[in-house]
């Protein structure tokens, strides 16, 4: 019985986490940075994936020397400068 309640707790925690993971991005809609306030967000230093080819070559070199892979960066900075 104890192991069953432990599994149920884990399942509830997992479902709770999943709900939070889905809700958080939607809640981000409440956050508003107005276009006129995006001067600094448009800086290359604030833009993910701005390293371009140099960053890609570095990730290629490092991933060949490590056992891990992925989750490096995606394009986009949310800066509204496109």
> Does residue 79 sit in helix, strand or coil?
coil
Q: Does 18 bind other proteins (CB under 8 A)?
A: no
Residues 6, 12, 17, 20: what is their CA dihedral angle, to the nearest 10 degrees?
A: -160
With CB under 8 A, what is the number of residues at the site for other proteins?
Answer: 44
Radius of gyration of the chain (CA): 20
**Residue from 2, 4, 5, 31 in contact with other proteins (CB under 8 A):** 31
CB of 1 to other proteins, least distance (A): 31
Of 3-11, 12-20, 52-60, the segment contacting other proteins by CB under 8 A is 52-60
Q: Say which DSSP state 32 is in.
A: -
Looking at the DSSP assignment, which residues form a beta bridge with residue 48? 76
Q: Residue numbers of the site for other proteins (CB under 8 A)?
A: 25, 28-29, 31-35, 37-41, 43-46, 48, 52-54, 57-58, 60-62, 64-80, 82
């Amino acid at each position: 019985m104890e192991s069953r309640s432990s599994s149920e707790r884990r399942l509830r925690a997992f479902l709770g986490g999943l709900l939070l993971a889905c809700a958080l991005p939607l809640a981000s809609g409440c956050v508003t940075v107005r276009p006129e306030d995006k001067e600094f967000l448009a800086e290359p230093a604030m833009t993910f994936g701005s390293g371009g080819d140099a960053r890609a070559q570095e990730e290629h070199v490092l991933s060949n020397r490590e056992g891990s892979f992925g989750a490096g960066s995606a394009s986009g900075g949310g800066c509204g400068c496109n």
